[in-house]
Homo-oligomer: A and B are copies of this chain.
Amino acid sequence: MVDSEQRRPGRPRSEQARQAILAATLELAADKGPRGLSMEAIARRAGVSKETLYRWWRSKTEVVLEALAERSDETIPLPDEGSLAADLGAFLRDTVVSGDATTQRLLRALAAEAAADPSMADLIRERFIVRRRGALDQILQRAVRRGEISQAGAAIALDLIYGSLWYRLIFGIAPLDNAWAAAVARAIAAVH
């Protein structure tokens, strides 16, 4: 049978509460930023009890991760334009575009959790970061096959690229705009 998601006994989970919580998370991120994003505030704004919140998400980190997942359509577009420079440029421009102010604040909230607590870092890595690295890695592996970059270069490029993104985001070094996308694409493509 395909019906692996057998209906369990008991009152089913309220999809409305779930949506309200994720919406409240986005609103709070937008309005107050990471500092205002407390479990207490999420429950209050969503009109939901704290017990419901803690029943489904063990920590703020998990809520934010799910809010982010819900927000983006989950499939990361993979350009294939024939050269590493072009592919990278397209990929990073797309990344920049999808990173609006609210998303950036959610990401900063995640970074704050990760920095403060290694177990949260593990969680975020496994549930969020590996996916992004995986997508980018496909582009890089294609370039490896084309001989544009070495295997070792591809490996470190993942850190260089995403590192520069988070670095700018967390410390407000400079905006994550098309200029950044172009500069990074150009630099990495040059790593032969």
Given the known A-B contacts A35-B116, A109-B116, are A160 and B164 also in contact in the complex, defined by CB atoms under 8 Å?
Answer: yes
- Give the size category of A's interface with B: 35 or more
Q: Is A146 an interface residue, CB under 8 A from the partner? A: no
How far does the alpha carbon of A112 sit from the alpha carbon of B157 in the complex, in Å? 25
A115 touches B122 (CB 8 A): no
Instruction: Give the number of times this chain occurs in the complex, counting copies.
Output: 4
Taking CB atoms, residues of chain B closer than 8 Å to A109 are: 115-116
How far does the alpha carbon of A90 sit from the alpha carbon of B92 in the complex, in Å? 31
Q: Is A174 an interface residue, CB under 8 A from the partner? A: yes
Q: Is A147 an interface residue, CB under 8 A from the partner? A: no
Taking CB atoms, residues of chain B closer than 8 Å to A113 are: 112
How many whole Å from A29's CB to the nearest CB in chain B? 12
